[in-house]
Structure 1
Amino acid sequence: FSFDFYRILSYALDPSVDTNLSSSSYIGAVEEAEKNKGLTVFESGAKKTEKRKKVKGGDAADLDGFLGPWAKYQDEKDGAKPSEDEKKELDEILAKRLKRGRNEEDAPAEEKTILHVKDMYDYQGRSYLHIPQDVGVNLRSSEMPDKCYLPKKQLHVWTGHTKGVSAIRLFPGSGHLLLSCSMDCKIKLWEVYNERRCLRTFIGHSKAVRDVCFNNVGTKFLSAAYDRYIKLWDSETGQCISRFTNRKVPYCVKFNPDEDKQNLFVAGMSDKKIVQWDVRSGEVVQEYDRHLGAVNTITFVDENRRFVSTSDDKSLRVWEWDIPVDFKYIAEPSMHSMPAVTLSPNGKWLACQSMDNQILIFGAQNRFRLNKKKVFKGHMVAGYACQVDFSPDMSYVVSGDADGKLNIWDWKTTKLYHRIKAHDKVCISALWHPHETSKVITCGWDGQIKLWD
């Protein structure tokens, strides 16, 4: 026992001395021992203190006045009012908080734009939005290439972003321009053909830009950033047309693709809602509030009558446009979160990047069932929302991965055909050019955008 006493009290009876003799000798903290009169652990328990007195409980027959076990202590104070000093301190903290909040909300970042080419218009008065006709491929046709081939080599690198690129979008229809948004808070517009210059930089967010989306004709685009603002820009002049915020972070943003609904867009927010805005009034006109986690993707299907959303709650929900109740909810215990979704060129399939390192395929028409025969594996994406894409003829599926590789699978056999080391860090997006047989554009967290052929 002696050792245990020693450990607790830091003194003990000296075991080498005969205890039968009257004088006790101690080892360790001798002063402590003398102070405690040599009491052991078992003896040194302090005397029980006086019990706090309670207010008498009254008579149990008196229903209103009976206190019973709920009676207060006699010395109990009711008020919890802070003292003068505490009050001063609290006031200061509150004032600081208010000030900080106000600054953030009142001041959306100043918008400006830089034109990087000498002349805004060419000799015929056409801006860079004009589709070029001398690039060896008809960018105006609605026909897809008949047969696509695997890209093999790097053709070009677009550099200009100082931090990771988070998303890239091709100009609708023609794909002759490329829009990129980055963690350096900037958005850039690049040429895909000819000199492949950077045409314009759009500056107007104070934090990393998460997503961008063109309207149908490409004259305007939306940007969503971590500064909680969604901004609408003019692609040609670089002017910021309007700003939208509901004080939550928008994770994805999409225009309604219908020609007659180009004034409406939806955004998936960090607070689990999908919010629908009207550009003309700047008002929120609808809220789809059923997800249980932040909303990561929104994809229009079924001739834009419906859209599919995925979320951190590991579910996939299908909504009728303008009806705030999901009519289909897909969630299996085995499902992982799917932070990137792409609709196939023929509109029949949704390719979903799943966080368990596979791409799952769901039917995009009426049933929305998982196609168990088509699962694309062999890449590492856990933790990253790597954007998937299809070749225009539906023969290949492409995706980046966490190691910066570009992976290309065969659609029919789901075999991984080809891997290219594309970026030093995460390859976050891969786009197959809709008019080209083998041109793929990738972007990564190393800040580069690359063209492969």
Structure 2
Amino acid sequence: MSFILHMPALTGTERRGGISALAYSPVGKDIAAGFENNTIMVWSTMNQAVRHQFQDHGGAVSSLVFSPDGNKLVSGGRDGRVIIWDLIAGGMIRALHAHAKNTVDCVAYSPDGKLFASAAGDSAVKLWEAESGNLRASTEEHNGIVMSILFSPDNERFVSTSAEGTAHVWSTHTASHICDLQGHEGVIYTAAYSSDGKRLITGSDDGTARVWSALLGDEFMTLSEGDDGCVWAATFSTDGRHLHYVGSEHIIKTYDSYTAVLLHSIDCGDKVAMGMTFSADGRLLAAGGEDHVVTVWDMVTKREVVQYNGHTDTVNYLAFSHDNKHLASASDDGSVRKWELPSSDDNRNGRWTPTR
């Protein structure tokens, strides 16, 4: 079952523009999308109605993240500002002139909701206190655009990855530098912590996925996608025993995360083209294809579980609900859709029916 999320009508010469960011609330009650004209839409997942519409950025909305309790939304914009929104009462809590006029490419919340981080094209990473909006620390150690920020599950550390091929791990308490992850020779597109927070996996356009000590920065293993390859998305299984990644070979590969033995592979063909996204627990992978179809695979059953048709243009953004029951997708056709995923039991027993 799918739902097209309603968009309020535009008036006069008003133009909403393309979708530039997408987020699914960790508690499952809201989906948010950012648009090129500075608009943020927040929909209820219960009835697909618009809950809030915000317009205060001075340009496109470039990044979005919900607080862990789902009561706040943080947005980053091309105007260099970070804005905290109240999703209970509606409206802005505060705006932070965080990164001058540089596009805020990344925003991330700590799992305990006490901190959030932002990064922009000025290569700066900033750590903020979520309640007060006070700046706890700032660093400019990267020499390129920051591609992602990720907090450890225990709130002790966070990692920032960059276009120049390096990643830095920081303390959330002192904001001091802990270690560097050095070895990639290209843009680091993806990073994920193991569930115990002790290891990190990164993927790069140098054709490798690498596993590291999140505490010391030591490299444990390197997995290669081949010459001129690229790793687009990577993650660990919930128990940490396996790792999964997908790259330019269009094959989902599952390895033993300790021995680097290849355990399984799924050839996805042209079904993997845009917006590759793993679920939070590493079980599911969703991707948009060249035919505008969204496909979902299950890493446990090693099966393609469902395909979704409906979009009429490139699918650029995908986001899972935390319970893996729903998937949100955003496309260049201007629509945001919510899809109902097959249940785990139906998936295992082969009783699911693809949604067309």
- TM-score tier after normalising by the smaller chain length: 0.5 to 0.7
Distance in 2 separating the partners of 1:294 and 1:132: 28
The residue that corresponds to 2:113 in the other structure is: 218
> In structure 1, how many angstroms separate the alpha carbons of the residues matched to 2:84 and 2:242?
29
**Offset from partner CA, 1:113-158 (integer Å, 9 cap, x none):** xxxxxxxxxxxxxxxxxx999x7xxxxxxxxxxxxxxx9x966597
- Among 143, 148, 151, the alignment partner of 1:255 is 151
Which structure is higher in strand share? 2
1:290 aligns with 2:183: yes
Counterpart in the other structure of 1:427: 316
Aligned to 1:372: 264
- Give 2:125's aligned residue: 230
Q: Supply the distance in 2 between the matched residues of 1:301 and 1:186 (Cα, whole angstroms).
A: 31
Indicate the SS of the match to 2:169: strand
Per-residue CA deviations over 1:392-445 (Å, capped at 9, x if unaligned) read 794x532345776543345536336222445865523x222224733x334567
Q: Deviations over 1:226-269 (max 9, x none)?
A: 1111111233333333221125222222223335xx2x322223
- Give the SS at the match of 1:415: strand
Cα deviation, 1:56-104, whole Å, max 9, x if unaligned, reads xxxxxxxxxxxxxxxxxxxxxxxxxxxxxxxxxxxxxxxxxxxxxxxxx
Match of 1:242 among 137, 140, 143: 137
1:204 aligns with 2:93: no
User: 1:154–1:452: 8 Å Cα contact kept in structure 2?
Assistant: no
Gap runs ≥5 in structure 1 = 1-130, 136-150
Contact 1:410–1:417 (CA<8 Å) still a contact in 2? no
For 2:67, the equivalent position in structure 1 comes to: 171
Of 282, 285, 300 in structure 2, the residue corresponding to residue 397 of structure 1 is 285
Counterpart of 2:167 in structure 1 is: 274
Q: CA deviation at 1:318?
A: 1.1
- Aligned equivalents of 1:187 and 1:338: distance in 2? 29
Instruction: Check 1:449–1:417 CA distance in 2 against 1; reply closer, same or farther (3 A cut).
Output: closer
Query: Which deviates further from its counterpart, 308-317 or 205-214?
Result: 205-214
Please report the RMSD computed on the Cα atoms of aligned residues, expressed in angstroms.
4.2
Percent identity, aligned pairs only, is 20
Note the C-alpha offset of 1:390: 3.1
Structure 1 residues 377 and 414, CA gap change in structure 2 (3 angstroms): farther
User: Are 1:415 and 2:296 counterparts?
Assistant: no
Change in CA separation of 1:175 and 1:352 when aligned onto 2, cut-off 3 Å: farther
Q: How does 1:96-111 map to 2 (within 5 A)?
A: none
CA distance in 2, matches of 1:376, 1:291: 26
Shift of 1:367: 2.9
Judged with a 3 Å threshold, the aligned counterparts in structure 2 of structure 1 residues 401 and 208 are, in CA distance, closer, same or farther, namely: farther
Q: Per-residue deviation at 1:355? A: 3.0
Using the size of structure 2 for normalisation, the TM-score is 0.64
The number of equivalent residue pairs is 295
Note if contact 1:351-1:388 (Cα within 8 Å) is conserved in structure 2: no
Tell me the TM-score normalized by structure 1: 0.53
Q: SS state of the match for residue 339, structure 1? A: strand
Paired residue type of 1:248: N
User: Match of 2:221, SS?
Assistant: strand
- AA in 2 matched with 1:252: S
Q: Output the amino acid matched with 1:407.
A: T
Give the Cα–Cα distance (whole angstroms) in 2 for the partners of residues 402 and 335 of structure 1: 21
Shift of 1:290: 1.8
Decide whether the 8 Å contact of 1:221 with 1:235 is kept in 2.
yes
Which 10-residue stretch deviates more, 162-171 or 364-373? 162-171
1:314 alignment counterpart: 207
1:290-322 CA distances to partner (integer Å, 9 max, x unpaired)? 222233322112622211122221111111233
Change beyond 3 A, Cα 1:224–1:426? farther
Q: 1: CA distance between counterparts of 2:242 and 2:70? A: 22
Deviation at 1:220? Answer: 0.9
Amino acid of the structure 2 residue aligned with 1:305: K
C-alpha deviations, 1:22-52, integer Å up to 9, x for none? xxxxxxxxxxxxxxxxxxxxxxxxxxxxxxx
User: What letter corresponds to residue 158 of structure 2 in structure 1?
Assistant: F
Determine which structure has the larger helix proportion and give its number. 1
CA contact 2:106–2:148 (8 Å) conserved in 1: yes
Give the partner amino acid of 2:67: F
Q: CA deviation at 1:182?
A: 4.8
CA separation in 2, counterparts of 1:219 and 1:449?
A: 30
Is the 1:162–1:447 Cα contact (8 Å) retained in structure 2?
A: no
Following the alignment from structure 1 to structure 2, what is the Cα–Cα distance between the partners of residues 270 and 303? 27
C-alpha separation in 2, matches of 1:401 and 1:377: 9
Counterparts in 2 of 1:425 and 1:346: CA distance versus 1, 3 Å: same
